[in-house]
Chains A and B, each alone.
Chain A
Amino acid sequence: MNIMDPVLAKKLRILADAAKYDASCASSGSKGRKAGADAVGSTTGAGICHSYTPDGRCVSLLKILLTNYCLFDCAYCINRRSSNVARARFTVEEVVSLTLGFYKRNYIEGLFLSSGIIKTPDHTMETLVRVARTLRQSHGFAGYIHLKTIPEASPWLIEQAGLWADRLSINVELPAADSLRVLAPEKDGASIDTAMGQMSERIDEAREERRRFAPAGQSTQMIVGADAATDETVLSRSAALYGRYRLRRVYYSAFSPIPEASSLLPARSPPLKRENRLYQADWLLRYYGFSVPEIAAGGADGMLDLDIDPKLAWALKHRDRFPVDVNSGEREMLLRVPGLGAKAVDKIIVARRRTRLTLGDLSRLSPGLKRARPFLIADDHTPGRLMDRLDLRDRLAPGPTQPGLFD
């Protein structure tokens, strides 16, 4: 496709708008793959963000729906059948040519394709699989493909999807089964779990047998703020999903006001701060050795402290565990020091074998030293009575600016 096609342009606007509430953007986790001599495409492992929209979100994949017509009526979704939003439907060929047109201009890493449920879940899933298959088979496309999997579709379609896709995902949508019943009457928590279980089993098996099946694994998304679930409930669900189905990522999506909102969910600004704290807590679960009860203990009533990050919140409530000596402390404890990231901790551990670390040294190893100081002992520094100060929380809480997502 060389020129701009006005009918296609209109569909693209509708179906990109309809897909944007899915937070997943990653193009990571796949094994290296290269295109043949006449084709395009490669995957790099870490993934690339090709652009950022003014909401700070990464544009890595062409994230679109095949269609936003839908039989389902999920209250939080702009595409539910009772919404008056404009509708459109791509053909398989249109999605394929848009993907290739975008890819060849280096706008994207690949395709993230999802769809409203039309006719039947099987019919819908079959069409999604057909797009992926056409890209791979007819065009030798070796870029990234993420397919949203429809849990109500027949199991053989998941088998087929895994042959072509790098990543598969099923959205659990809401952390609790009760809210799913109220807000998404056609969805069934048990069938979502069954499908995720099947997928994780197939992914593991294929890895053992060295077959190609969704090499970038599976991920999911939970909507935050559409129901009454606490942060502890959300995080417990995540911890269970990471453990049970070995998910690569759980995405949290702050429920965002949508045009044509349902009266079940009054419109209000999305709880972005809460979403940010959940991501930080998720990081602590996966890379910093924290458990859900520990993280929850940093807040109150099952909710995280919105003003300070969850690691600092935990540390302030466990002052007896500090200060930690950077020249002799255990890795596990260094990871718990507010302001010290996993990378800084690793550098500290390598460097201290050769030298005694001072505060000046630490300032070169960690960008978060200001926050870490009261919790650390260095060669030329002990925090003194700082630890006992009642106003420590206020001194360390950041100003009113919104912090970056992963700092």
Chain B
Amino acid sequence: MSAAPIHVALEPGADLDGFRRAARRLIGEQRPPEAVVWSSGGGCDLFGPSPNADGAPLMLPKAVADLIGLAALHSDPERYARLYALIWRTIRGERHLIEIASDPLVHRLQAMAKSVRRDIHKMHAFVRFRQVHAAAGERYIAWFEPEHFIVAAVADFFVTRFRGMSWAILTPKGSLAWDRRALTIGPPAQRGAAPDRDDFEAHWLDYYESTFNPARVNPTMMKSEMPVKYWRNLPEAALIPRLIQEAAPRVEAMIANEARMSEKRTPQKAVAAMADQAPASLEALNRIIMASEPPAPFAPRAVLGEGPVGARLAFVGEQPGDQEDIEGRPFVGPAGQVLNRALAEAGIARNQTYVTNAVKNFKFKPAGKRRLHQTPTAGEVKHYRWWLDRELELVHPRLVVALGATATLALAGKPLPITRNRGPADLGGRAGFITVHPSYLLRLPDEAEKRAAYEAFVSDLKRARALAEAA
């Protein structure tokens, strides 16, 4: 085509929408890249006032669309011409052009996109807020000078990160303001509109200076990662010349300073402190358990073991249920009532035995007003295992009865099927006895089956009692 080139004038900054509209139309009109002159900053648009008369949408590979989204933010005035050339070639026979990173045009545009990405990353990193006190409370304001038109592109990052703060970021290429509810993208701002001090900043400067190791001074490396063009808006950068100047003398002084042999190198005290740190009583252990946080979906209240230290028999269940969580005591719900009855029938006084759970908090799923029991995972059982072990060490029963699969897993350290291992067992080095959990008896649907299972449970308890008495 030999006609005079067509002018396309886009809005100042990154006019991504305008570019997309224009590109669609130009492709539709089959105008080659050399027949288009792009300008940015307003002025006459030869397309005239018909923004709705777009061409058909362009079907571009995703990688091309992504590249356009980034490179259009570049400050180079040539960006639109290059992007249009990429679109033109991609549409007209070079569908896979974007994959050829060695192509000069692709290479050039990818370098531009990289520069934009880097500028975005550095803006995330180098914005420095200063706190001001406004009538509505504290507010944070920053002045920053990005290289490219990235102000809108960084908004998400700052909104997500500083959601609970009221803040503004002012730049010569536009501004952002967040009032804890809504974001406003505003016009370019002046440096004078940002605060020039924040007393707290002194802590940051102290930190920056103290965290620097003079023995490793390497300004080249620093400048490549924190280019000098950013320094004037970084309060800590003012310290750099002095820190570099003082580094060599500081290191020389350290090296010249003759080392002295310590007079107190014997480690007894530290080693003794370590040997002595485990909780020495059940009360001390229980304090730790109460103060600790359960893993995610558990009720916050820890239900502790109950019964006398030195009890001959200890019973370990799975975890507190709804009723136990409310009352803060183990085995007081429906399963607890079954256990109490069976203990009485087996001739075991509950108040002379120790009763506890492998997992100390109630794991549940809310279902309306009810809280549905959830079986703890192996990892969650392990979370509590060290405590259970310590607890039994302190109670020191003659026999530990594991009620059900979770207790068995916690005590043995590995899953053991109940049916095959029911009866006396070694539970992690302790004399143990495996039987079912009383809640299993409640779940059996058939009455006859239920009665038989209950009888078997009572007879297990009798055997356990005999074993504990013989031990």
Contact = CB atoms under 8 A, between A and B. Distances in A.
Interface of A: 1-4, 8-9, 12-14, 16-17, 19-21, 34-42, 44, 48-59, 62-63, 71-73, 80-83, 98, 101-102, 104-107, 117, 119-123, 133, 137, 140, 152, 154-156, 159-160, 163-164, 185-186, 202, 205-206, 208-209, 211-213, 254, 256-270, 272, 347, 350-351, 353-355, 357, 360-362, 364-365, 401-402, 404-405
Contact of A54 (B131, B243, B257, B273): B243
A353 B140 CA distance: 51
Given A117-B270, A351-B99, A13 B206 contact: yes
A13 B205 CA distance: 10
B387 A156 contact: yes
Given A48-B125, A54-B247, A267-B254, A205 B379 contact: yes
Given A16-B211, A263-B260, A72 B104 contact: no
Contacts of B140: 104-105
Nearest to B236: A51
A402 B218 contact: yes
B280 interface: no
Interface in B203-252: 203-204, 206-222, 224-226, 234, 236, 240, 243-244, 247, 251
A267 B204 contact: no
Contacts of B386: 154-156, 159
B32 to A, nearest CB: 22
A351 B142 contact: no
Residue among B199, B203, B240 facing the most chain A CB atoms (10 A cut-off): B203
Q: Which 3 A/B pairs are nearest by Cβ-Cβ distance?
A: A56-B221, A82-B262, A361-B102
Contacts of B293: 133, 137, 160, 163-164
Interface string B366-406: 00000000000111101100110000000000000000000
B161 A35 contact: yes
Given A3-B200, A104-B131, A17 B221 contact: no
B257 A259 contact: yes
A101 B243 contact: no
Nearest to B234: A51
A257 B130 contact: no
B202 interface: yes
B240 A54 contact: yes
A149 B455 CA distance: 50
A258 B254 contact: yes
A98 B202 CA distance: 12
A119 B274 CA distance: 9
Contacts of A81: 264, 270
Given A58-B225, A270-B215, 12 more contacts: A8-B203, A9-B203, A14-B210, A36-B164, A73-B262, A82-B265, A105-B140, A212-B296, A213-B295, A261-B254, A262-B261, A270-B216
Contacts of B240: 54
9 contacts: A2-B200, A37-B164, A44-B157, A53-B243, A56-B219, A104-B129, A209-B377, A211-B379, A269-B215
How many residues of B sit at the interface, in one of the four size bands? 35 or more
B88 interface: no
Nearest to A102: B204
A59 B239 CA distance: 15
A3 B211 CA distance: 21
Nearest to B140: A104
Interface in B121-145: 121, 124-131, 133, 138, 140, 142
A205 B259 CA distance: 47
Interface string B87-108: 0000000001001111110010
B276 interface: yes
B337 interface: no
Interface of B: 96, 99-104, 107, 121, 124-131, 133, 138, 140, 142, 157, 160-165, 180, 198-204, 206-222, 224-226, 234, 236, 240, 243-244, 247, 251, 254-255, 257, 259-265, 267, 269-271, 273-274, 276-278, 288, 292-293, 295-296, 377-380, 382-383, 386-387
Nearest to A363: B102
A59 B380 contact: no
Contacts of A48: 121, 124-125
Given A35-B163, A121-B274, A365 B101 contact: yes
Contact of B271 (A82, A186, A262): A186
Contact of B225 (A49, A211, A264): A49
B199 A3 contact: yes
Contacts of B209: 13
A97 to B, nearest CB: 10
B380 A156 contact: no
Nearest to A361: B102
Nearest to A152: B274
A354 B99 CA distance: 8
A137 B300 CA distance: 13
Contacts of B267: 72-73, 185-186
B220 A355 contact: no
Contacts of A63: 211
A120 B216 contact: no
A392 to B, nearest CB: 26
A19 B163 CA distance: 31
A9 B216 contact: no
B124 to A, nearest CB: 6
A39 B204 CA distance: 21
Contacts of B265: 73, 82, 185
